[in-house]
Structure 1
Amino acid sequence: MASIRQGLTATAVLGLLTPVTAAATELNLERVNHYARSQEQVTSIGQFSDLRPTDWAYQALSNLIERYGCVAGYPDGTFRGGRSMTRFEAAALLNACLDRITDVTDDLKRLMAEFEKELAVLKGRIDGLEAKAGELEARQFSTTTKLSGLATFVVGGVSNNPAGEQVTFNYDVQLNLDTSFTGKDLLRTVLRAGNFDGERNAFGGGLSTLEIAFQEEGGPDVLGIDKLFYQFPIGSQFTATFGGRVGQEDMLALWPSAYPSDTILNALTLNGAPLAYNKNLGPGLGLWWQDNGLSVSVNYVAANGADSSQGLFTSTSAGTSTVQLGYGQENWGLAAIYSYLNGGVGVPGATPFITAEIEEFGASTNAFGISGFWQPAEGGWIPSISAGYGLNRSSGTNLRTSQSWMVGLQWSDVLAEGNSFGMGVGQPAFATATRNGADTEKGVWAWEWWYQWQVTDAISVTPAIFYLNNPGGNQGGGNQVGALIKTSFQF
């Protein structure tokens, strides 16, 4: 009885393969793969909505499904028995059935002989793919680490700049190594080099500093470790971070801005509160809680934390203590932040007077900020809007209070899909009151306009211009105009 059933099964397979295109001479792997991906295994012939007991192959299909389970259908519940297929597709399906058959009858031998050539080609292709996969696996440098990179070229210049008005060509390159040991944790190592030197380059110092401008401590053109930290979840709502070189921004659950897609001036990328969002970098640790869009972040970074003469938790450690309360959804977010800055903390996006008071003369500062953003669901005439405001109070030096703000607009899919246009305006941190009452600053403004042309998924070209009004604050120096072309390569 068993041999009779097997013979019937083989006959059924031969019958099912009748509408095969006989003229096929080469393997169409794309069609075979598409066919395989679109199929879903069935356990009962009743799952097919387009089959009836009166169909000529109904009983044969029923036998194949119930005995061997090698018949599959489409996601919409149909079998589509009238559809033609190539001989290779038929061979692939036959191979699936043969894998489930243990006793080979004469009919099965005849069927295998009929498709011997096609089955041999399929087997050879599969063996070749397995060999290539094994070779790739043997050559990969790590099974737990992914490498990504960003290389940026900047050509441009700034008028009326102390560093000079010549056109320069600068670069920045970042190599990110992301390692996960559990699938949920992250060990991030960032290697970075660049030649934006504030003493030599207009884009590397003062308010004309670009966000991309990296200055390695060892000097320009020196490759070094920019960041090194470990991040891991605690339960389902907490995330902890610690590292020997971690940025304040790496330990915030929410970055409350959608501006810009391609950064230009650093002063306009700090959510309108550059002292609160100062991106202090050094040894640090932090913890955030997040649930249904609501988040609370607490972190501490000490720029001098690796220096035994300064320490990790002293008044000379150049430490920033931060608490942020935020709420964000897919297309909008809002956050309030408080940061306490010890003397010596580097403060981007501030006038030279404020920078000197905090970094060089050791003013301690209480910095507050509120920032938010909204962006449309689709690109069009309506831009995304990002805005923020910062208020600061300092002590220990001549600086007393300072403030800042910014607004950024960005349009998506401008002129072509994937391209963006944006503009930002605001006031970097400037002094509003001093202890001697003589050094307040007025008329410090920054504007920028840019267009990001997405050449490919990995290459973009961004021309930009910016204008700085009284960037020197009470130290004067005149207005500045900058123009540049930035080319970015992601890999």
Structure 2
Amino acid sequence: MSNKLWKVLLASPVLLGMGFAGSANAQVSTIDELVDVSPTPDNWAFGALQSLVEDYGCIEGDLGTRTYRGNQFMTRYEFAAGLNACLDSIRFLIADGGLDPETLATIQRLQEEFAAELATLRGRVDALEAETAELRAQQFSTTTKLRGQVDGNLVAPFGETTIQIGGGNTGIDVDTDENLAFTARARLNFDSSFTGDDRLRVRLQAGDNDFSIMNFAGGLANASGTGNLDVVIDDFYYSFGVGDNLDFIVAANSIQTDDFVVSTIVPFDGPGVADPSGPVLYDFDMGGGGFAFGGSAALGDNFVIDAGYSADNGEDGSNDPRDGIAGAASQSYIVQGSYISDGLIDAAVAYMRGNGDGDRNFTDTFAGLLNLDFGQFFVAGTAAWSDNGDDDDFHWMAGAGIEDIFFEGSTLGAYYADLPDYSDRRDPSMFEVYLGVPVNEFLTITPAVIYGDLDTGTLADPGDGSQWYGALRATFSF
């Protein structure tokens, strides 16, 4: 009897952890009721588990599956509940005379022999509880998490700037008047949750104006800001789920078009240094950015329908009672259907309508997006057609990338983008090759080589032309 009790006491903390982690448990009376427990050589705790079940009656199994799930983790609450059940059973046995003097003497001897170990464990538990209490007292918020990101961009033009003269296809090469430039942006996201299935986000953002850095290539991806490092509220929205398949978002600022969709499909969005990696089809002549609302509906495991509306704010905007939410001068709408898998194909079709200039001349954009994921290698692209009633334009992008090349977690990507444009100039385009290198958990370095061609066809506007750039972006996330 004493030898069996000794084995039970040694194994009971582990066994209790295995037995009380389920949510729909029921008491079992014999070990045979648990279909996943058998006296095999690899089941080292079978004897102790059998004793806890049949001698002390303080182990439960899953009610529906009749399983014990011995490898499942437990919480401290579940351990306390299980230990209490076993102690109650032992107390009952003692009161009922179920433990003989030899067994009681064994328990007392074990307590004395392991007094030092028990005291050490008690000290560790006390230290952990004190540390936990300190963390709770000093935590930022019980409902809010703080996340931040800082991007620094170093950009150097090289080669010669080509400026188009006249309306033909000839040009002249001139020395570039651009120099090495640096711009930075910082973001602090305050994410609050009140139900566990919702998020209230308030984002503070500051950035120095990029002064048209990489203007010939469509600008920088992570360089937004009002200039002079003024701190402003950027994202300001509340999102929440309804049931298992519906999610909604209501925003007061900075949410439009691609912010409503579950995925922009192409993997260049984020790693790319140039802004057209976005992809740019979501932004072309689209307005809004003030009050917004939208939602997503999951259709099975792989299909998602996203929809959203965004209106500009300010004068003639959603907060101007003369125009209101539906009559804002600048608006955008989006509907996107996506197929998102864990395998080869991610794809989407989208329709957008908006007027970025607030001139009531709306642009309709129809787009398709595709990503083929072959594991470490991917091929992706987009195609879109935009029409504002007076002009139309077909624009597209395509590229490829390799994951975990040179360094673990790194991404080498390259893409070409035919940029949307309604003017009479030659088709604007840009090309980028980038290498994202995660230095550690908090820092990613992304060098890139970029070529942009945004010719206007006149010498009077030297702000446009073609140019090569070398860029280096450092992203700190915490």
Give the structure-1-normalised TM-score.
0.74
Q: 1:50 to 1:185 in 2, by over 3 A?
A: same
Displacement, 1:154? 1.2
Unaligned runs of 5+ in 2: 21-27, 62-66, 72-81, 164-175
- Which residues in structure 2 correspond to 1:411-422 (within 5 Å)? 411-422=402-413
Q: Does 1:49 align with 2:31?
A: no
Displacement, 1:224? 1.3
* Corresponding letter in the other structure for 1:335: A
- Which residues in structure 2 correspond to 1:112-261 (within 5 Å)? 112-158=111-157, 160=161, 165-195=178-208, 197-198=209-210, 200-203=211-214, 205=215, 207-216=217-226, 219-248=227-256, 249-261=258-270
1:434 aligned partner? none
Displacement, 1:468? 0.9
* Corresponding letter in the other structure for 1:224: V
| DSSP 3-state at the match of 2:259 | helix
Displacement, 1:311? 3.5
In 2, the alpha carbon distance for the partners of 1:144 and 1:463 equals 37
Select which of 354, 374, 378 maps to 1:384. 378
Native 8 Å contact 2:312 2:330 kept in 1: yes
* Corresponding letter in the other structure for 1:484: A
| DSSP 3-state at the match of 1:14 | helix
Displacement, 1:321? 2.1
1:14 aligned partner? 6
1:425 aligned partner? 416
* Corresponding letter in the other structure for 1:297: D
Native 8 Å contact 2:287 2:354 kept in 1: no
Displacement, 1:77? 7.2
Identity across the alignment (%):
24
Displacement, 1:430? 2.0
In 2, the alpha carbon distance for the partners of 1:283 and 1:291 equals 27
Select which of 305, 314, 320 maps to 1:308. 320
Q: 1:284 to 1:63 in 2, by over 3 A?
A: closer
Displacement, 1:71? 8.3
Displacement, 1:300? 1.3
Displacement, 1:461? 0.8
Q: Does 1:65 align with 2:64?
A: no
| DSSP 3-state at the match of 2:449 | strand
Q: Does 1:101 align with 2:90?
A: yes
1:481 aligned partner? 468
Native 8 Å contact 1:275 1:429 kept in 2: yes
Displacement, 1:485? 0.9
Native 8 Å contact 2:19 2:69 kept in 1: no
1:295 aligned partner? 304
In 2, the alpha carbon distance for the partners of 1:58 and 1:257 equals 52
1:401 aligned partner? 392
Displacement, 1:325? 3.0
In 2, the alpha carbon distance for the partners of 1:264 and 1:37 equals 53
In 2, the alpha carbon distance for the partners of 1:239 and 1:310 equals 31
In 1, the alpha carbon distance for the partners of 2:392 and 2:7 equals 88
Q: 1:370 to 1:43 in 2, by over 3 A?
A: farther
Q: 1:460 to 1:232 in 2, by over 3 A?
A: same
Unaligned runs of 5+ in 1: 1-7, 21-31, 79-92, 346-357, 432-438
Give the structure-2-normalised TM-score.
0.75
Which one has more relative contact order, counting CA pairs under 8 Å at least 6 apart?
2
Q: Once superposed, what is the RMSD of the aligned Cα atoms?
A: 3.8
Q: 1:323 to 1:107 in 2, by over 3 A?
A: closer
| DSSP 3-state at the match of 1:242 | strand
Q: 1:130 to 1:271 in 2, by over 3 A?
A: same
Q: Does 1:263 align with 2:250?
A: no
Native 8 Å contact 1:271 1:388 kept in 2: no
2:446 aligned partner? 462
* Corresponding letter in the other structure for 2:413: G
| DSSP 3-state at the match of 2:420 | strand
Q: 1:106 to 1:244 in 2, by over 3 A?
A: same
